[in-house]
Amino acid sequence: MLAFALDTRAFQLPPLPGVAAEVIASSIDDQADATRLADLIQTDQGLASHVLRVVNSPSMRAATEIVALRQAIARLGMTRIREIAIAASLAGALFKPMRYKVEALQAWKHGLCTGLWAKEIARAGRKNTEMAYLCGLLHNIGSPVLLNALGQATSQSLPPCDIASLLEEFGAQAGALLAKEWKLPEMVVTTVRCVHAFETAGAQTDAVAIVNAAQHMSAMMHRGELSSESVLGLEAIRYLNLYPDDIAALLSFRDSVSGALEASTV
Amino acid sequence: MSAYDVIVVGSGPAGQKAAVQAAKAGRRVALIEQLKEVGGACVHQGTIPSKALRERAVERRRIADRLREMGMPWESPVSDVASLIGEMTEVIHNHDAYMAAQIKRNGIDVIHARASFLSDSLMQARFTDGRAAEFSAANFVIATGSKPRKPDNVPIDHESIYDSDSILSLGYLPASLVVLGGGVIASEYASIFAVLGVDVTMIDRSAAPLGFLEPEMISGFLTAFARYGGRFLGDAPLDRVAFDGISEVHTHLKDGRVIKSDKLLCALGRISQIDGLHVERAGVKVNERQLVEVNAFGQTSVPHIYAAGDVIGPPSLASAAMEQGRRAACHMLGIDPGRQGDWMPSGIYSIPEIASVGLTSEQTRARYGSTVVGLARFNEIARGHIARCLDGVLKMIASPDGVVRGIHIIGDNATDLVHIGQMGLIHSATAETYVENVFNFPTFAECYRVAALQITGQLGVARARIAAGAN
């Protein structure tokens, strides 16, 4: 049923919420400035409250309470605020299906964690960090769409293992449809489509390999299996030419990734 | 354990030429390269990408200028950064493929791993999967190149604050960019980004950038830079750099000024790349600047271990590195490398290009007592008008006996044009040589005759010739 729906495009693709679209656009717009983003965030009540919750979370360790968005921007920096805003706007728009809430939250956390690791891998390889984050964050954007569709299509809940296999089988296809529909940057579209087969990404192979490695690291971290050995065994890590020394340096960011993840999901 | 006649570490210009030379001499050669491609920073982070970007920037600027002249203003010469990067990647890929083919053709074993000396005859290679292997060799060439210097007061994060190895990872053009430094790399990137429409501020502690050049070259660079919207702040020692936590990088100068920009490029020099190589285990000496010490033949303190390229220090030119690598291999194998040329040209791929060969005015004066100078401006040359390149200058410096001692050029094709002067220097050409020989017309080479005529005129040689002809 899912395959048919995807093939025939008889699929309910949610519209990209206005604020999310603008926040994403600001992340690839060289003219974007702090004032514009602050204005943008202030136009969305949910987004504003989420940003303030995040900056005041224990892991951010603010010395004083943050009471204003501009103060939050000053505290965390434009790049970080933008990341939180993108993640939060997508969470609000997509990751709240009526059913499968646990799976949806897990998918969102996985996207976020992938984005955070992708950024560090990109930094280690002297690649673009901003794009790596965005591609990592959005790489599994098909998951909530599928979860929504599943929730609407059947009256009874499927067991978790079935859901996992459906997401694995159709997630990329659904995500690619959504990314195109939303007119996301070409690199994001390619990442969503090729993340599980990065070698097929053509000119974007390096960028997609970063996200591939990051999503494996995110999954390993979730399972408590993140180690030098496990990362060293990743095909994408070898493709990216990262050596054991580089991986040791990369894993030193584990706490900061964990902290950022915790802060963003308060 | 595999045994080789020669192991070369690093596949940049120096390493590649050393390996090819040794292989051509029939030796069994291994080339250990830590990147997954060959070519080193030259191909993947430095020379080739920046020059490719430069060409694309110049192309777009020309199109923009022409459209403006035709009444069709095109405000931004660059609308799509992805296409710029894509074109750059294509150039890199093609160059990489060509070099890989050359290495394969010569039967060189390429080992993609990180190398470290275990002794003066044994080397360990560590692979990305964690495996390690040992290799022995009778001779080694260290050609590991250089990496950007990271001053303590500039927190490079490759996100807001870049170095010259990461600046081309930018996903979009920032509205503003501060470039720290006044050297070759700083000047090249500052001018390229200015031409691409970025608001560039170049900051250096020296009064002028490229201080080793002739004054006409420096003023020509600064004039062009200002025309493209760039700003140079000289005599401005740096205090510190900090990301403001919002969206800007703040560059604090010692005099209290703070320059704000979207991004910052730190181009305050490069240092040798010998981390993890453990040259001390082989007994190879490095100096206080971490440069590998070599003699005139490229030999280190251990006679069968050679070094070439940026790892031994200036001039840090790809062209020089290639020749150093070739000569090192020749010396180690007892092959006559030929006489080493006295005159090495240098090229700066800024916009406009700058090139020079031979002595400066100061050096000529110091060596020969005084100088006779001829200046040819591109706006006096037919080709300059045809090509719409009127800002260039060729400066010819001669000693009082009329022998040309130095050529310095700024303007289109300077890095190619300088080789005429190089040939002249090699053959001790006098200014008269340039006057008496015919160059194609219209070409920029005509500048040589114009400059030479000024010199012969000053020396009175021309007048004497005319007088002799009248009699």
CA distances, A184 to each of A88, A157, A179, A195, B243 (Å): 17, 31, 5, 16, 29
Residues of chain B positioned with their CB less than 8 A from the CB of A242: 128
> How far apart, in whole angstroms, are the C-alpha atoms of residue A103 and residue A111?
12
Look at B36 and A244 and tell me if their CB atoms are within 8 Å.
no
Helix B47-69 to helix B184-195 angle (10° resolution) is: 30
pLDDT-derived band at B192, boundaries 50, 70, 90: very high
Look at A126 and B245 and tell me if their CB atoms are within 8 Å.
no
Three-state SS string across chain B, please? Answer: CEEEEEEEECCCHHHHHHHHHHHHCCCCEEEEECCCCCCHHHHHCCHHHHHHHHHHHHHHHHHHHHHHHCCCCCCCCCCCHHHHHHHHHHHHHHHHHHHHHHHHHCCCEEEECEEEECCCCEEEEECCCCCEEEEEEEEEEECCCEEECCCCCCCCCCCCEEECCCHHHCCCCCCEEEEECCCHHHHHHHHHHHHCCCEEEEECCCCCCCCCCCHHHHHHHHHHHHHCCCEEECCCCEEEEEECCCCCEEEEECCCCEEEECEEEECCCEEECCCCCCHHHHCCCECCCCCECCCCCCECCCCCEEECHHHHCCCCCHHHHHHHHHHHHHHHCCCCCCCCCCCCCEEECCCCCEEEEECCHHHHHHHHCCCEEEEEEHHHCHHHHHCCCCCCEEEEEECCCCEEEEEEEECCCHHHHHHHHHHHHHCCCEHHHHHHCCCCCCCCCHHHHHHHHHHHHHHCHHHHHHHHHHC
Of residues B471, B467, B469, B439, the one with CA closest to residue B452: B439
> How far apart, in whole angstroms, are the C-alpha atoms of residue B6 and residue B3?
9
**Start-to-end CA span in chain A (Å):** 36
For the segment B335-363, the average pLDDT, to the nearest whole number, is: 93
Nearest CA-CA distance, residue A7 and chain B, Å: 31
Nearest CA-CA distance, residue A121 and chain B, Å: 12
CB atoms within 10 A of CB B41: 25
Task: Write out pLDDT tens, residues B14-63.
Answer: 999 999 999 999 999 999 999 988 888 777 777 788 888 898 888 888 88
Please state whether A66 falls in left (phi above 0), alpha (psi between -120 and 50) or beta: beta
- For A161, the enclosing helix (H) or strand (E) is helix A160-181
> How far apart, in whole angstroms, are the C-alpha atoms of residue B17 and residue B23?
10
What's the CA dihedral at B258, B260, B263, B269 to 10 degrees? -20
Q: Does B276 touch chain A (CB under 8 A)?
A: yes
Q: Does A76 touch chain B (CB under 8 A)?
A: yes
> How far apart, in whole angstroms, are the C-alpha atoms of residue B377 and residue A237?
54
Query: Mean pLDDT for chain B?
Result: 92
Kindly tell me if the per-residue pLDDT of B388 is higher than 90: no
Mutate to test the interface with A, among B159, B193, B249, B261 (most CBs of A within 10 A): B159
C-alpha dihedral sign at A29, A30, A35, A38? positive
Which residue in the set A30, A241, A242 is minimally distant from B175, CB to CB?
A: A30
Task: Write out pLDDT tens, residues B57-102.
Answer: 888 888 888 888 888 876 655 545 666 777 777 788 888 888 889 9
Give me the numbers of helices (H) and strands (E) for chain A, helices first please: 16, 0
Q: Does B75 touch chain A (CB under 8 A)?
A: no
What is the count of residue pairs from A and B with beta carbons less than 8 Å apart? 74
For the segment B361-389, the average pLDDT, to the nearest whole number, is: 95
Q: Which residue has the higher pLDDT, B355 or B160?
A: B355
Q: Does B129 touch chain A (CB under 8 A)?
A: yes
**pLDDT number for residue B84:** 74
Query: Residue B197 is which amino acid?
Result: G
Helix A101-124 to helix A129-138 angle (10° resolution) is: 160
Kindly tell me if the per-residue pLDDT of B341 is higher than 70: yes
> Strand pairing of B29-33 and B2-9?
parallel
CA distances, A226 to each of A37, A103, A217, A234, B144 (Å): 35, 21, 7, 11, 32
Look at A73 and B36 and tell me if their CB atoms are within 8 Å.
no
CA distances, A211 to each of A195, A235, B168, B253 (Å): 7, 12, 20, 39
For the segment B428-453, the average pLDDT, to the nearest whole number, is: 95
Among A67-76, B148-157, B210-219, the range scoring the smallest mean pLDDT is A67-76
Query: Residue B33 is which amino acid?
Result: E
Nearest CA-CA distance, residue B51 and chain A, Å: 19
**pLDDT number for residue B80:** 56
Low-confidence ranges of chain A (pLDDT < 70): 1-21, 24-50, 52-53, 58-79, 89-98, 264-266
Query: Residue B160 is which amino acid?
Result: S
Q: Does A145 touch chain B (CB under 8 A)?
A: no
Residues of chain A positioned with their CB less than 8 A from the CB of B92: none
**pLDDT number for residue B320:** 92
Q: Does A128 touch chain B (CB under 8 A)?
A: yes
Kindly tell me if the per-residue pLDDT of B446 is higher than 90: yes
**pLDDT number for residue B139:** 98
CB atoms within 10 A of CB A164: 14
Q: What is the ipTM of this complex?
A: 0.83
> How far apart, in whole angstroms, are the C-alpha atoms of residue B99 and residue B24?
15
**pLDDT number for residue B250:** 95
Look at A77 and B247 and tell me if their CB atoms are within 8 Å.
yes
Task: Mark A10-38 as b/e (b = at least 16 C-beta within 10 Å).
Answer: ebeeeebbebbbbbbebbbeeebbbeebb
Which residue in the set B45, B82, B246 is minimally distant from A77, CB to CB?
A: B246
**pLDDT number for residue B186:** 97
DSSP code at position A204 = G
Nearest CA-CA distance, residue B35 and chain A, Å: 7
Q: What's the alpha-carbon Rg for chain B, to the nearest Å?
A: 24
For the segment B467-471, the average pLDDT, to the nearest whole number, is: 58
> How far apart, in whole angstroms, are the C-alpha atoms of residue B392 and residue B216?
10
Give the angle subtended at the CA of A111 by the CAs of A170 and A29, to the nearest 5°: 105
**pLDDT number for residue B453:** 95
Of residues A91, A101, A98, the one with CA closest to residue A140: A91
Mutate to test the interface with A, among B147, B165, B169 (most CBs of A within 10 A): B169
Task: Write out pLDDT tens, residues A22-80.
Answer: 776 665 555 555 566 666 665 565 666 667 667 777 666 555 566 666 666 666 666 67
**pLDDT number for residue A6:** 57
Look at B128 and A122 and tell me if their CB atoms are within 8 Å.
no
Per the structure block, which two tokens stand in for B375? 């200046």
Look at B171 and A130 and tell me if their CB atoms are within 8 Å.
yes
**pLDDT number for residue B35:** 92
Q: Which residues contact B179 (CB under 8 A, 6 or more apart)?
A: B186, B189, B190, B193, B200, B201, B202, B203, B264, B265, B267
Which residue in the set A128, A203, A242 is minimally distant from B170, CB to CB?
A: A128
Q: Which of residues 94-113 of A touch B (CB under 8 A)?
A: none
Q: Does B83 touch chain A (CB under 8 A)?
A: no
Residue of chain A nearest B164, judged by CA positions? A126
> How far apart, in whole angstroms, are the C-alpha atoms of residue A66 and residue B405?
67
C-alpha dihedral sign at A264, A54, A133, A7? positive
Look at A77 and B245 and tell me if their CB atoms are within 8 Å.
yes
The strand pairing partners of B261, in sequence order, are B249
**pLDDT number for residue A98:** 63
Q: Which residues contact A24 (CB under 8 A, 6 or more apart)?
A: A16, A86, A134, A184
C-alpha dihedral sign at B309, B314, B316, B319? negative
**Start-to-end CA span in chain B (Å):** 82
**pLDDT number for residue B44:** 76
Look at B175 and A31 and tell me if their CB atoms are within 8 Å.
yes
Nearest CA-CA distance, residue A31 and chain B, Å: 7
pLDDT-derived band at B321, boundaries 50, 70, 90: very high
Of residues A100, A95, A224, the one with CA closest to residue A162: A100
Mutate to test the interface with B, among A69, A129, A251, A253 (most CBs of B within 10 A): A129
**pLDDT number for residue A105:** 81
